[in-house]
């Protein structure tokens, strides 16, 4: 474990894990990365339940035996006291608003749809895919309207609100979204990608992520 005690239990194809890796890179924080193969049953193991009873990724071990769950909670923890999280209470609340919106509106309609399309769980014409895409278009319309008059989501600077929302929006085309429809959003994606120490190490889903090819919380 590095001197700061950080260990990240991580799945390379997960946007939620990618968000944490992106912030750690931009903070220049060393950490030990522990690969978790979700579809090889790694999160179903009894040993993993001792780390995270919800059997999700990522998990950040912040000191020996002390674990922090949920990607956006991890972002908030890591960003505290840094320029990535405003100190003003109202601006912090605005950041939290976007962290919630990303999980409740963007994840199901974009990340969830992308996962199901890329792993063969849905076709583009599946009724649930059509419904999710319509919900996603409505959600992206709201993001577009917000970004039409500003460069960043909160406080006119780059924060973990941008990191959280960027985590899956930068691959929204994989879920069938034509980003030409949202020009302010496209410009914001370019702005985020141009930030210092930006990394894009989100990997494709491996073959064992397809239905019936592995063991995971998605099949159990």
Q: How does pLDDT run across 160-211, given as a tens digit for each residue? A: 999 999 999 999 999 999 999 999 999 999 999 999 999 999 999 999 999 9
What is the mean pLDDT of the segment spanning 65-93?
A: 97
Distance, in Å, from the CA atom of 59 to the CA atom of 214, rounded to the nearest integer, reads 21
Identify whether the C-beta of residue 16 lies closer than 8 Å to the C-beta of residue 58. yes
Maximum distance among all Cα pairs of the chain, rounded to whole angstroms: 50
Q: Judge whether residue 220 has pLDDT over 70.
A: no
Q: Given strand 7-10, what is the order of strands in its sheet?
A: 32-35, 7-10, 59-63, 66-69
pLDDT in tens, 91-125: 999 999 999 999 999 999 999 999 999 999 999 99
Would you tell me how many other CB atoms lie within 10 Å of the CB of residue 90? 10
Say whether pTM exceeds 0.85. yes
Whether pLDDT at 18 is above 70: yes
pLDDT of residue 46: 95
Classify each residue of 38-57 as buried b or exposed e, where b means 16 or more C-beta atoms within 10 Å of its C-beta. Answer: bbebbbeeeebeebbeebbb
Judge residue 88's burial from the number of C-beta atoms within 10 Å of its C-beta, 0-12 exposed, 13-18 middle, 19 or more buried.
exposed
Q: Is residue 217 very low, low, confident or very high in pLDDT (cuts 50, 70, 90)?
A: confident
Q: What are phi and psi of 5, to 5 degrees?
A: 80, 10
Q: How confident is the model at residue 1 (pLDDT cuts 50, 70, 90)?
A: low
Instruction: Write the CB contacts of 209 (distance below 8 Å, at least 6 apart in sequence).
Output: 13, 38, 39, 119, 216
């Amino acid at each position: 474990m590095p001197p700061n005690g950080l260990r990240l239990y991580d799945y390379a194809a997960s946007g939620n894990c990618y968000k944490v890796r992106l912030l750690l890179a931009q903070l220049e924080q060393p950490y030990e990365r522990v690969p978790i193969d979700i579809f090889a049953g790694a999160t179903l193991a009894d040993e993993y339940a001792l780390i995270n009873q919800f059997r999700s990724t990522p998990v950040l071990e912040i000191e020996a035996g002390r674990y922090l769950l949920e990607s956006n909670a991890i972002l908030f923890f890591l960003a505290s006291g840094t320029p990535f999280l405003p100190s003003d209470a109202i601006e912090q609340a605005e950041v939290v608003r976007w962290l919630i919106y990303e999980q409740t509106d963007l994840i199901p309609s974009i990340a969830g749809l992308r996962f199901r399309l890329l792993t063969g769980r849905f076709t583009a014409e599946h009724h649930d895919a059509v419904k999710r895409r319509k919900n996603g278009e409505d959600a992206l319309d709201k993001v577009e309207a917000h970004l039409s008059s500003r460069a960043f989501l909160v406080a006119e600077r780059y924060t973990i609100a941008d990191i959280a929302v960027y985590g899956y929006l930068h691959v929204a085309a994989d879920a069938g979204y034509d980003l030409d429809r949202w020009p302010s959003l496209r410009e914001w994606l370019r702005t985020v990608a141009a930030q210092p120490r930006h990394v894009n190490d989100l990997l494709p889903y491996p073959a064992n992520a397809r239905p019936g090819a592995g063991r995971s919380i998605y099949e159990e």
